[in-house]
Structure formats: C-alpha cells, structure tokens
Structure 1
Amino acid sequence: MKKFAEIFRNRSFTKLFLANFTSQMGSTIGLTAFMFFLLDRFSSQPAYATITELMYSVPMLAVFFLIGVFADRMDRQKIAIYCDWISAGLSVALIAAIYVGWMPLVFAVLFLRSAVQKFFFPAEHGMVQGILKKEDYTTAAGLNQLVMSLFMLFGNGLGVLAYWSVGIYGAILVDTLSFIISALLIQKTDVSNEARLPNGSHTLKDLNIQMVFKDFKYGFKYVLSSKLLFTLIIGFFIFGIVNGGFSVMPIFILKYKLAPDTYEQYSIVIGFVFGIGVLIGSFIASLLSQKVKLYHLISVGLIISGSFTALASLPNNIYLFLGILFISALALPLINVGIGGWLPSIIDPKMMGRVQGLISPLNMLSHSLTLAFIAYSFPALLTIEMLYWIVGGCLAIVGVFYMIVLPKLAEESGSAVKESAVEQGI
C-alpha cells in the first residue's frame, strides 16, 4: 500500500491512470449492455453476441501497422485526447444506428469506434513509461491490474444495471460521458516533451506509407533481436485465445447449462466473484512481485489459472462452478503483474509504441480467430465444456513452456545488459 501511495504522488501519473480508467469504462459498459440487448432480442442467435465482441477485436487487424508508428512518431498526448473525443462522437452515432435498427450499420459503427480506441493505449502506455521511474513499473502494473479487476468486478454488473435502468441508449450515453472525462483529464496532464515525443516532432505529412512500413519493419526486427522479448510476445497469441474465450464463455455456460432462466442475474454474480478473485489476487501479486522472480510469478499464475479454468467445465452446480472460477481468477494477476512490470524495463522508451503495435494485433488476431471459431462451432460442433478445456489447456501449456525457457532467457538478458554497461563505461 505504501508503494501505491508513493506512485500516486506523481500527479501526471494519477491523471493518466484516471483517464485510462474512464476510457476503459467507456469501452465496457455500453458494449456489455449491447450484448445483453442482442441476447434479449435475438436469443436464438448467439452468434450476434459473438460478432459484437469481434467488432471489438477485429479492427486491430486493420490498423495494427499504424498504431505503434503513430505512438512513437506523433504527439502521444494529442493522440490519446483525439481518440477519446472521436470515440465519444462515434458513441452518439452508435445510438442513432441502433435506433435505425439496421444491424450492418450498427456493427460498422462499433468497428470504427473500436479502431479509433486501438490508438489510445500504446500512446497512453508510452506516456506512463516516460513519467515513471524504472522501479515503479511493477507497482504501476499492479495498479493497472487493480483497474482490470474492478472492471471484472463491476463491469458486467454496471452494464446490466445500465441496460435494465436506462436502457441501451442510456448505457451508451454513459460511454460517451466516460470518453469525454478521459479526454479532459489527459488534456490537463503535464507530460514532458521527452515522454510525448520520444523520437522528435513529426507531422502527418511526414508519415508517408514508406516511412510507416519502414518503422513497422524496424519494430519487428527490434523484437526479434531480443529472445526474451520475443518469447514473452509469443505468449500474447495464447492470451488472445483466452481473452476471446472468456469474453463470451461465462454468459454461454450460464445461458445454455447452469442457469438458462436467470443467466442475466447470475452474470452479475460471476462478474462479482471473478472480480473479487482478481482484486485479491492483484494485492497478492503486487506483494509477491517484490520478493519473487517475475518469471516464476508468470509461470505459476498460468498453470494454476489454466488448470482451474479447465476444471470449471465439470460442475453442474453453479456455486461449485463459482468457487472454481474464483481460484482461476485469483491466479490471473500473477501473470499480468509479472508481464506488465517486466516489459517496460526491457523495452526502449523510443520503441514502446512499435512493440505495442506488434503485441496488440497478435493478441487481437488470436482473440478474433477464437471468437470466429466459437461463432462457427458453438453449439453445432463443440459443447460449452470443450470451450473451457481449450482455453484452460492453452494457459497451462504456456505456463509450462515459460517455466522451462524464461529463467535462462532472463539470465542471458541480464548478462547482456551488464556487458553493454561495461562497454559504455557505466
């Protein structure tokens, strides 16, 4: 707790943290409410709910070669501000599209809003890396994990409550307000030129197609040059499978197995149980990160979470299911805090945007492929239990892989840094 208090004394970090929180809120409440709106109106067509999630992930594949270059070459603060304002405008357009009732138009607006939001996080992460000390990265990762746990705890519940109380239009208006608040917070944040423009000042005219692809290629080579960074990034493909599965699996197992008649109410309970598990796990992970090697934290978290995710497919009793899911959630922050605290310390600040520009599409590619696979195969080819086996198995396999390779790669990376420091006379 002392570490958390210390990091919040940095006012720039505090404002960016709150902006990140509200921007994520703008991405969550309306989307969750919209999914329940579709499940109500098209209950015999679960593919619509899956397509909604696809409209969140697929846009990354359309803009992935741009977001990292923009975050490294353009003013990161302005990128984040413009993303929020444009997303607010598209939220209003989404209300109009839903009112018209033509689903292709609705999904098109969702696609555009999501594409714009993809530019926000590399820019915001780059600014955070520039305003924090290296020893604060793990603490910041723990705080980001706390934000994620709060959304797991309250996100679905807030989305459902907004849908019940103010309807789909009111829920999306909450999105709009959240984006506006985030934009205003970032606008008032004092960020140094070095953090905003790590590679100097550029204009849109400078970013021609040749330069964009040259920078993207350079970012790719940068990742390949570090075995440790490359190995960690491989894991993000698997994490995309997990994220894609978990975005729809809890609702599906409630609706089609555990609580067909009361799945909306129990979805709030699942969000609460999962969120409490991640919240408690976040505090545990933050404490352990100061005493345990980060690669041990990541590997153990993956194996525990994967094993219990697979086990969650077995119970027919919803309370037993919730208990198993709680343990799986408890282990997830070990992974996120470990990776979130490690990556900024091994990535050059000038390359953060381009590395994020590779991580995010890789994650979203597997996320999208998973959702497309679920939309095609469930319930025609796969049962809900099989989905849990696939997702849990992926987590556990990556955990074993990391347990074998990461210690050696971490040692080699540390030795390389020391040799470089000696050569430079540090």
Structure 2
Amino acid sequence: MDLLKDLEWRGIIYQQTDEENLKTILDTEKISLYCGIDPTADSMHIGHLLPFLTLRRFQQHGHRPIVLVGGATGLIGDPSGKSEERKLQTLEAVEHNVRGIQKQLQSIFDFEGENGAAMVNNYDWIGSIDMVTFLRDYGKHIGINYMLAKDTISSRLDTGISFTEFTYTILQAMDFNHLYQNFGCRVQIGGSDQWGNITTGLELIRKMNGEGAKAFGLTIPLVTKADGTKFGKTEGGSVWLDGEKTTPYEFYQFWLNTADADVVKYLKFFTFLPHEEIEALERAVESEPHLRQAQKTLAEEMTRLIHGEEALQQAIKISAALFSGHVKDLSADEIKVGFKDVPSFERTSNDDVALVELLVEAKISPSKRQAREDIQNGAISINGEKNTDVEYIITENDRIEGQFTLIRRGKKKYTLIK
C-alpha cells in the first residue's frame, strides 16, 4: 500500500506542511528524513516511540532515516509543553544519556544496506559554533515576531521564559538545515508538540537555501487513552525501554493490560502488522473480548521489537506461571522479575523454620493462632502449592535455587521470603 495512505489508515498523521508535493516526492524519489530526541534521561520511554516507529515505516518503503540525538539541544531544554524552565544538565550527564538512547535506537532501525539509518548527534555541529556566528548566520534569519507567534513560546510569556529556552527553536531549525545541506534530508518527523520547531526549520531552510528549497514537516498525534488517563504511565511511573528500569516482563504486562477501547488503535500505531491481521484482531475484540487475543498480539509484537525474542519468551513464561500459580517452574532470576513489587521479608538465618513461625515472623499472619487457622483452611501456598500441614517445616527444599520461598495467603497476597 502507498506509504501515506497506510499512515492515514493507521491514524498516524496529525499535520503536514505540503501534502500534495510530499506525496509526489515520495512516489518518485527515495529520500532522507529525520526524527530527533533530546537526551533528558539515559533511556527513552514508550511515549517517545511513535515518531521513531513512523520513521522506521519510511525505511521499510526504501527511504533513509536519520536518527538524531540532541547532545547540544539537550544542554538547552525545549520549552515545548513546559510551564517552567528545565533544570540544566551537565555535559557529562548529557553524554551519558546520549549513549543510552543511541543503543536503544539501534534496536529499532536497520543500519545496514543502501538505505541504512544514519545516527547523528547535533553537538557535532552546534557545539563548536561561537556566539557571533550564531547571531550573524542564523539569528538574523528568524524574526522575533515570528518566534513570538509560536505556541511553545507565547504560552510561556506570562510565566517567564529565559533567552536560553527562547532560542531552542532556532537550534532545532539549525539541525534541519544542517541535515538538509549535508545529508539531503527533506522531511522532519516529530510529535504534534514539535510543529512550531519543525516549521521554524522550514523557514530557515528557505532563507538560507533559496525559495526553491523543498523540505517538509510531518507531525504525529499525541497518543491518548480512551479513559482520559495519560498513555505510557503506570502506578510505578513511566514505562521505560531500558530493561533495568522497566523489566521486559513489566513491559509485556503493560501492553497486555491495554483496554479493549485502545488496543486496535495501538496495534495500528505501534506494530508493523498488515491491515488484514489488525482488522481480524479488531473483529476478535468485538466477538471474543475475553480471549484478549489483540492484547496478547500487541504485547508480543512490542516486547519482541524492543527486547528481543528471548526476553519475550521469558515474559510469557513468567506471565503463564503467575496465572496458573505454578511458580516452581520459574528460575530465581524469573522470580525476581515477576515478584519485583510484592512485599518481601529477609530472614537473618538459613536454618529450617516452622511454617507457623515464619508466617508470623514475616507478618503474613498476625498471630500463631491465625497462622494455624490459615494453614488448616487451605489459605497458605508455598511456591504455588497449597499446604494444610500445621506442623510443616520450611527447609532447603522449599527454597527456589536456594534463594527464595514464595508464600501466598489467600488468592493474591504474595510475600517473597529471601
């Protein structure tokens, strides 16, 4: 299918600067285009994904993606969407963040072949520019009234904006112009909040390269949830791409728990599944919602893309064990991941201990009497297996790989004994 029609079917296009001419160029040429991110942390979160996945769709159609990590603009701070000044980072912190983000982007794009992706850092061309050069060669092309008309700037005039953040839009315009001149870059892709910065880049390209310069901007809609809550957030915070910050199991579970009202939209936005398969999953949501086939497919596709097949299979294994209660099937490492957020209790001794005493010691049951009742009533499970023996002794055999004993009281109250 035609690339732009595919993007429209998926609901990915929010704004375009020149739809007709962009379509003509995409139909007749293979172009370079870019998307950028500022390294405000050493990992991206899933709120960053959609523009880059859109860039990857262009690569799949033969175009060349340029992936920009803003080592220079990350030192400044984009005023977009902010009501106050961003806390400035040190150069060392930004360089650390750049390395982390570049590693993640390498898993999304193909860097080999004729249209292999290019990875760039705008500190390489902005970092060495002196103030006089900045003012003479770039500042003179962008009028104050033009900048004040930008929503990202005008919205900050009442609360205050520093000259530092005021100039951000020019720096991003310099990126687009540099890539236009040195990489033949014709299109910038960004989130809807980047429209003002993208159009400033087009203005600078026109001023510095003549009226015949042809460049385009395309923005992606803000990802929302049907219930009005913020996409990409959980009770624990952001869903990160870094497996140390958000484990692959947690990542998998985030997508698996997508609401029926959102899952088809997310399949269109985030996966590379063909239309026919997504439409079949949409019908399954309507006819067999209890099977949650669309959610399972979404979780598998996204976890495989970001963390790989091995991490996906581990996430599926942990999920299945927790659902069935067969936690003995899990390794100690998988126990750590699957029960990362459950209450834990660390014993100071490796000696054998009576189950009744351990239940009280770990505050699973409030008293020995209650502990005996819980055991007799079948409310206590050890490593997924129900235990009704009030004289039972916890021994080495009850420790998974010698490290953990998992005790459940009732249906859902787990405690991890270390």
Per the normalisation by structure 2, the TM-score is 0.24
Query: Who wins on radius of gyration, i.e. which is larger?
Result: 2
The structure with higher relative contact order (CA 8 Å, sep 6+) is 1
Higher normalized helix content (fraction of residues): 1
Higher normalized strand content (fraction of residues): 2
Per the normalisation by structure 1, the TM-score is 0.23
